[in-house]
Structure 1
Amino acid sequence: MNNTIFQAEQQLYLHLLQLSKYHPKAGEWLACLPAWLSAVKDKRRYAHAPFYASAIDRLPAVATTQIELGDKVAATLDWQMADFKKTQSLLTNLKPWRKGPFYLLGDADTSIHIDTEWRSDFKWERVRPHLDLNKKRILDVGGGSGYHGFRMLGDGAKSVVVIDPSCLFYHQFMAIKHFMGVDLPVHYIPVPLESLPCRSELFDVVFSMGVLYHRVSPFEHLEQLKGQLNQGGVLVLETLVVDGDENTVLVPEDRYAQMNNVYFLPSVPALTKWLTKAGFSDVRCVDIDVTSTDEQRATAWMDYHSLADFLDPNDDGKTVEGYPRPKRAVMIAKK
């Protein structure tokens, strides 16, 4: 087994073990952990898993002289040209990189900027002013390759658990953690929210960003999120919305912005009503933002179609299907 992956998973196990001393529900997570971690490596389920793991295994062992988690996620490395070239080639094997960006810094000739499809830092800068993450235990649902998890640590979080069922995202996270340091208290479990034990109540803050509209049952998703929060904990929910009153919900007939798994796009008043009905209090919308082609676009690290290809070429206020252009709201609520 790859040393980086083994060490990172060992740190996750020790984190849950320590947590179980004070929160018995964490013992249920420990019991599930071996199955969760073995499933993402099963090549019968994920044909590319051995290839991805091999890329992590071959990353060079280099000294990290500094890490940055404040305004960006970056590691400064003491490496030679050969290590730089090898790393660049291996990270290219993990394309497409969708959430970031990440920086591996050497000198002017040996620095890597993983310029991801999404400028996830744009979203984080909209979210972070409204939160106090200091010494908080956090769950990031659908966290992709873990970019926001690293930023949460930079904003003072005590620990972060990222969950996402993607095999590729899991290995991208491991590649970044290889250089950032396996001892950082940001962990990754490759499962969807519905695989977690119900009503664990382990976290002070739970994030769900870019997930709700992919759920067939949005209320079930809200209930599952609430079950992971301790009493008085904070939910941060970011999702696609449309304009309208508390009765306005868009249900795409087929695709939305070329995505075929989008089910419900509520208005902010409707979403407020949903959260209240699900049992949350102090519900407020702290940000609404129309997604720009500066924030989501094709790059050398994700060279497929992106937002510009999903908009009506004659009216960029609409998707190619004729629906309103993607607009996202950030909601904050308490359990």
Structure 2
Amino acid sequence: MAYFDWRTCFGQLLTELEDSGQSRWAHTLRAQLTHRFEDNPHGDLSRWQEALNSLPDVPGAVADLNRSAVTFTSPSDLDTHQQQALEHGLRGLMPWRKGPFDFFGTYIDTEWRSDWKWERVAPHLADLSGRRILDVGCGSGYHCWRMLGAGARRVTGIDPGLLFLFQFLSVKRYLGEAPVDLLPVRVEDLPDGLECFDTTFSMGVLYHRRSPLDHLLELKSTLRRGGELVLETLVVDGPEGYSLMPENRYGQMRNVWFLPSCDTLLRWLDRTGFRNARVVDVSATTTSEQRRTDWMQFNSLENFLDPEDPSRTIEGYPGPVRATLIAEKP
């Protein structure tokens, strides 16, 4: 049975936290990781570890983090055995939802074209050069790598999904000691008042929170003074104060609680103490951006829309529209 050595995986980050005055967080994190991987291990953990272990070594691998697909190349073509091992290992980590990625010519066409979101958001960001960044709900970490490519000093992604962690580690395997980590925790698991990040991203998380204002306060507590929040979430048309709360499901998702109007969202940011909040993008999600692929073979957006009126969800609500807002912590 394959064994996941979390102490080696997260050892460098834990040491850095202690050395940078974040010993409280390091202590809390050790306890959380022990519980996650030793006290209550996931049933698929050994299978995912075996898939990760089966990926071939590729000497001289080079990464390009500034393409639409996070791309790896090597000085020479992979031989047949390496190609087969690569395909086998990566398929052992399906379904792939956030990407895309290109591993030495093996292209992972993920469910989401996450590069499209990045292209919408990136022009509005403060210069990421030298910044410490937190990416909340980062999935497999696609955007974390794009942030590093944009010059970030260190990127920490958090997402409780363990499959996402192993997908992330399949990328990091070919990058060595890159200053990027993915922690399998939730934002509410972070210590209060961290105030150590220059930029915090929360993209596709707010509508999953039963208390959206508490989520905004949690995000605020991660930022240093003057830090930047990048918030992306589902929205609906409506005046200030209006928010849609689905009766049960939204787009077949059970855990969708509030879809505010943009003006309501601006008011929420103001009430939770952010300043200079502005909407920088509003885009409808289409079946070209989110769809079933060979690497994600379950139902996707087209199955969640009304077949008679694709501008609405299958439940009859307005179809998915996402807004990106940027604000600062005073």
Q: Which band: TM-score by shorter chain?
A: over 0.9
Q: Could you tell me which residue of structure 1 aligns to residue 225 of structure 2?
A: 231
SS in 2 for 1:63: coil
Q: Give the deviation of 1:182 after TM superposition.
A: 2.8
Q: Give the deviation of 1:6 after TM superposition.
A: 5.8
Q: Could you tell me which residue of structure 2 aligns to residue 58 of structure 1?
A: 54
Q: How does 1:94-109 map to 2 (within 5 A)?
A: 94-105=93-104
Q: Could you tell me which residue of structure 2 aligns to residue 166 of structure 1?
A: 161
Q: How does 1:1-335 map to 2 (within 5 A)?
A: 7-20=8-21, 26-42=22-38, 44-72=40-68, 73-77=70-74, 78=76, 79-105=78-104, 111-131=105-125, 132-179=127-174, 181-335=175-329
* Structure-1 separation of matches of 2:7 and 2:116: 32
Q: Structure 1 residues 214-223 or 39-48, which shifts more?
A: 39-48
Q: Give the deviation of 1:4 after TM superposition.
A: 8.8
Contact 2:3–2:46 (8 Å) recurs in 1: no
Q: In structure 1, give the amino acid aligned to 2:252.
A: Q
The share of aligned pairs that are identical, in percent, is 47
Q: Give the deviation of 1:43 after TM superposition.
A: 8.1
Q: Structure 1: give runs of 5+ residues left out of the alignment.
A: 21-25, 106-110
Q: Could you tell me which residue of structure 2 aligns to residue 108 of structure 1?
A: none
Q: State the Cα RMSD in Å.
A: 1.6
Q: Structure 1 residues 325-334 or 58-67, which shifts more?
A: 58-67
Q: Structure 2: give runs of 5+ residues left out of the alignment.
A: none
Q: In structure 1, give the amino acid aligned to 2:92.
A: N
Contact 1:43–1:50 (8 Å) recurs in 2: no
* Structure-1 separation of matches of 2:176 and 2:8: 7
Distance 1:16 1:64, change over 3 A: farther
Distance 1:101 1:6, change over 3 A: farther
Q: Give the deviation of 1:66 after TM superposition.
A: 1.6
* Structure-1 separation of matches of 2:19 and 2:80: 41
SS in 1 for 2:173: helix
Q: In structure 2, give the amino acid aligned to 1:321.
A: E
* Structure-2 separation of matches of 1:28 and 1:36: 13
Q: In structure 2, give the amino acid aligned to 1:27.
A: S
* Structure-2 separation of matches of 1:6 and 1:166: 18
Distance 1:226 1:197, change over 3 A: same
Distance 1:202 1:333, change over 3 A: same
Q: Give the deviation of 1:13 after TM superposition.
A: 2.2
Distance 1:19 1:325, change over 3 A: same
Contact 1:150–1:186 (8 Å) recurs in 2: yes
Q: Give the deviation of 1:84 after TM superposition.
A: 1.4
Contact 2:201–2:230 (8 Å) recurs in 1: yes
Q: In structure 2, give the amino acid aligned to 1:249.
A: S
- 1:124-157 Cα offsets, whole Å, 9 max, x none, are 0000000121111000000001000000011111
* Structure-1 separation of matches of 2:23 and 2:284: 42
Count of aligned pairs = 324
Contact 1:4–1:57 (8 Å) recurs in 2: no
- 1:235-279 Cα offsets, whole Å, 9 max, x none, are 000000000111210000000000000000000000000000000
TM-score between both structures, scaled by the size of structure 1: 0.93
* Structure-1 separation of matches of 2:162 and 2:39: 10
TM-score between both structures, scaled by the size of structure 2: 0.94
Q: Give the deviation of 1:38 after TM superposition.
A: 3.0
Distance 1:221 1:198, change over 3 A: same
Q: Structure 1 residues 72-81 or 220-229, which shifts more?
A: 72-81
SS in 2 for 1:41: helix
* Structure-2 separation of matches of 1:27 and 1:288: 40
Distance 1:275 1:46, change over 3 A: same
Contact 2:98–2:113 (8 Å) recurs in 1: yes
Q: In structure 2, give the amino acid aligned to 1:38.
A: T
